[in-house]
Structure 1
Amino acid sequence: MEAYRYEELALFITALVDGGTLLPGARAPSLREISRDRKVSMATALQAYRLLEDRGVLQARAQSGFYIAQRPPPRKAPSMSRPPARASDVSVSDVIVKLLEHASDSDLVPLGCAVPSADLLCAGRLDRLLARTAREKGAVYNTYTGPQGDVRLRREIARRALRWGPAISPPDLVVTVGCTEALVLALRAVARPGDTIVIESPTYFGLLHALEALELKAFELPTDATEGIDLNALQRVLATRRVAACLFSSSFNNPLGCTMPDAKKLAVLDLLARHDVPLIEDDIYGDIYFGSERPRPFMALDPRGNTIYCSSFSKTVAPGYRIGWIVAGRHLPRVLEAKTAFTLCGSVLPQAAFAEFLGSGAYDQHLRRIRRMFADNIERMTRAIDKYFPSGTRVSRPSGGFVLWLEFPSVIKTRELFKKALDQGICFAPGEVFSASGRFANCLRISCGHSWDARIERGVARLGALAADALAKSGK
């Protein structure tokens, strides 16, 4: 537990600096003072201060102690998006395929794909459980399950859901091939080709790809980088046109990182209930929160049962296992019909191993570690952007997940920047792939899903230099 306490102490000191209690140039509390006041050992206090020195929060002065480092003023958050007030056909598949090809190239600095690195996840215990299960019961699990998936896994997921939501039981759940299949099954259950789905703007490009494949239209809502969608815009679209469903992130929208407060979520649910429009929610980042409590998903706040809940373990522990799930409520029969027709069931052996993993309590221990690591990555990336990127760059401030959204002055086109970055051995996600209407040409998403090292910092520095060069050439 001591290893965790130094990181906890580092977060405490950072909060004092960010809140203005400790000002740049001021002397930090001495190691002896902070050790006494926070009831930690001197070794833990020193480890925390060394970490803060690495992050640029503190500076060590010989024979004098630690001081608060001078820092540039915080970057502004990205501006509220302003998509067109109309539904759009979606055509992003070609661009996304090319992006994913580059994002999987290990020779490139990995800022593009929102998939955590295997070394950061360190899912060794899960892998050992899979090997043991295969060795001891491989013949038993070399078969099909029912369409809903392994009952023990569904039971473990239902038990976890009790911590933040209403009581659900194994029969309420369907195990899916990642969150993507869960979202596709949900969309198929409530919409038909040509229907309109209301979404956040920007939103995850994989969702746009699914809308395109299902021949659905996207109505993009103005979205704030802190608190999510514009409620007035949602009210207008519901009042003026037929909407098959809304599809929103529960927490930590990809790419903005925004999370609606509970009061706003309740207002959304009330609006949708009045217009009898179902909500599909994507809660794939819900477990990666940096605060003291997990944000509650819409499902936990919805007494009417008008929400279809989708999630997976792909961002937290095992993207390669492809284990997701859906809680579809009254739409369950249609979800099962589509699941049976298209995939019948998921792979049985990984489900059995994951049930053992969850039942052992290892997942909670794992989550505590990766939350600290992702929070540290976000902090380091933000400071590197402050250091290397041109003034006028806006940066999101997520309180969970592991992606950052950057907004440049409009003269910088990130599709052109993307090509130049590839030549420099760097991959990121240009902003246009996060919109059905071709917006966000001056934005990009950076993934912080890999352990921070010198290679990543050099890549961020080169990317910042390319952005500065593009700005200089524009004459702005």
Structure 2
Amino acid sequence: MLYQNLADRLQSLIHEKVYEVGSRLPGVRQLSQQHEVSVSTAVSACRELEQRGLLEARPRAGYFVRQPPALRDAPRPGTASQKPRVITGQSRVLTLVQAVNNPDVVNLGAAVPNADYLPVAIVERAYRHVLRTQRRRCMGYEFPPGAPELRQQIARRMAGYQCKVTADEVLVTNSCQEAIAIALKLLTQPGDTVALESPTYYGLLQVVESLGLKALEIPTDPVHGVSIEALELALERWPVAACVLVTNFSNPLGVCMTDQRKQALLKCLYKYQVPLVEDDIYGDLPFNGRRPSPVKRWDTQGLVYYCSSVSKTLSAGMRTGWLIPGAQHEKARHLQFVSTVSVNTPAQLALAHFLQHGHYERCLRQSASDYARAVARMIDRVTQLFPADTRVSRPAGGFVLWVELPEAVNTLSLMEQALDVGVSFAPGELFSASGKFSNCMRLNCAVRWDARLERALIALSRLL
């Protein structure tokens, strides 16, 4: 990639102290002229270096060379399941998410971005616009499949990812999690087995548990993503009804599969005719400025059920997501209707207005840059404060960090003590159907960086 080559050249200049720590890099226009590349390539290179922890973006000032963080080893991949398992114990998640609304607790647990990272003012203007211009419509239902103008905007975004999707194929849902639940209802029956990454987002485990399904854990590497080799062995051995994966910036590892691995994954699933429920909720938040393709891009057989939302990019409270269920769109609409009747009308219309007027891309660039800085900052503090043999993930996007602690640490027990001192995190066992990762934790990095957060991290390190 051209921007990566430029990033490598600039990194060499930083290591050679041509650009010293604390100094300002030339502006992106000057960099583009010096290195004979486009301005967009120069911007992507700077964002790549920001993700590597070498640059820091300062508002209205440019990019500055920062002290590179001390590197820690990446967490170790999980192990494969011996057999499909019934999921239990996910009720503890409610305690975790309730801490978000507790003003006495610093939320490092639930993956909910602080409002400082979201375009609050622009979203507010979009709501005001639709309430002023379509107030009568806002008082009624937008029955499934959802507001036509929103579905049209989503189809256009999918076209930008090189996915052939029409507005009629889009179903608006109450969040990405409902989209996943509807997809699994279309594809499974109680007692069926679903293949999942390990570790995986606990919300997916909750959906699987609520539908009476069994989970088959597939080991996932923090650098390369889910093991396709292990997945193929599992598909040979067990009757898997569906596979649920976050292929772009997985939660909690933050890993993004390469295009080659995504295509290999799809080839494997085609071989066994196993549908993929693709959760792409973090796909719009790359640290290097380049939006990765979803697996849906290469799907020619309709086996990929695509799910996403704006909960991590615009507003968690908007509760607006979508599902592209292929040929089963009529049945999917019925399931959505009997579940919640419809999705919030003002939210749908506000989001459609937001997308139509080009605000989204600009906001995404800012959010992704802010998240990259927040993750780099959290890596710095974890490296400085936590035990020396702690392992830390290297997310390529999103805003969560996976931390592997010494084996003697039990993070489920630690969580109770941490809540007592006013800090929450997500213990590792919540990310496994079989209770693995008991010495791991996930940290939400999209928090307000202030003295209160610093005190919380120090308190957590003392407990460790």
Q: TM-score, normalised by structure 2?
A: 0.88
Q: Distance in 1 between matches of 2:213 and 2:187?
A: 11
Contact 1:148 1:175 in 2 (8 A): yes
Equivalent residue, structure 2, for 1:219: 216
Contact 2:81 2:217 in 1 (8 A): yes
Q: Letter of the 2:149 partner, please give it.
A: R
| 1:169-213 deviation line (CA, Å, top 9, x unaligned) | 110100000001100000000000000000000111111111111
Equivalent of residue 340 in structure 2, options 328, 343, 351: 343
The 5-angstrom pairing of residues 189-200 of structure 1 reads 189-200=186-197
Contact 1:250 1:259 in 2 (8 A): yes
Q: TM-score, normalised by structure 1?
A: 0.86
| 1:341-391 deviation line (CA, Å, top 9, x unaligned) | 212221112111111111111111111111110011011111111111111
Q: Distance in 1 between matches of 2:249 and 2:177?
A: 17
Equivalent residue, structure 1, for 2:183: 186
Kindly tell me: are residues 367 and 72 of structure 1, through their superposed partners in 2, closer, same or farther at Cα, counting changes over 3 Å? Answer: closer
Equivalent of residue 299 in structure 1, options 293, 296, 311: 296
| 1:410-462 deviation line (CA, Å, top 9, x unaligned) | 11111122122112211111101111101110000000112322222222222
Contact 1:223 1:230 in 2 (8 A): yes
Structure of higher CA gyration radius? 1
Number of aligned residue pairs: 437
Equivalent residue, structure 1, for 2:94: 97
Q: Percent identity?
A: 37
Equivalent residue, structure 2, for 1:204: 201
- Residue 409 of structure 1 and its aligned partner are, at CA, apart by 1.5
Equivalent of residue 385 in structure 1, options 382, 385, 389: 382
- Residue 303 of structure 1 and its aligned partner are, at CA, apart by 2.1
Kindly tell me: are residues 25 and 108 of structure 1, through their superposed partners in 2, closer, same or farther at Cα, counting changes over 3 Å? Answer: farther
- RMSD between aligned residues: 2.7
Query: Is it true that 1:424 corresponds to 2:421 in the alignment?
Result: yes
Q: Distance in 1 between matches of 2:426 and 2:384?
A: 21
Contact 2:13 2:19 in 1 (8 A): no
Equivalent of residue 20 in structure 2, options 12, 16, 28: 28
Q: Is there any run of 5+ residues in structure 2 with no aligned partner, and where? A: 34-45, 57-63
| 1:253-274 deviation line (CA, Å, top 9, x unaligned) | 1101111111111111111111
Contact 1:314 1:321 in 2 (8 A): yes
Q: Distance in 1 between matches of 2:13 and 2:74?
A: 22
SS at match of 1:162: helix
- Residue 167 of structure 1 and its aligned partner are, at CA, apart by 2.3
| 1:308-347 deviation line (CA, Å, top 9, x unaligned) | 0000000000111101000010222321221122122211
Q: Letter of the 1:107 partner, please give it.
A: D
Q: Letter of the 1:81 partner, please give it.
A: G
Query: Is it true that 1:153 corresponds to 2:146 in the alignment?
Result: no
Equivalent residue, structure 2, for 1:474: none
Q: Distance in 2 between matches of 1:240 and 1:374?
A: 40
Q: Distance in 2 between matches of 1:457 and 1:14?
A: 31
Equivalent residue, structure 2, for 1:448: 445
Contact 1:377 1:451 in 2 (8 A): no
Q: Distance in 2 between matches of 1:30 and 1:134?
A: 47
Equivalent residue, structure 2, for 1:280: 277
Kindly tell me: are residues 105 and 56 of structure 1, through their superposed partners in 2, closer, same or farther at Cα, counting changes over 3 Å? Answer: farther
Q: Is there any run of 5+ residues in structure 1 with no aligned partner, and where? A: 1-10, 41-47, 59-65, 468-476
Q: Distance in 1 between matches of 2:106 and 2:21?
A: 38
- Residue 306 of structure 1 and its aligned partner are, at CA, apart by 1.0
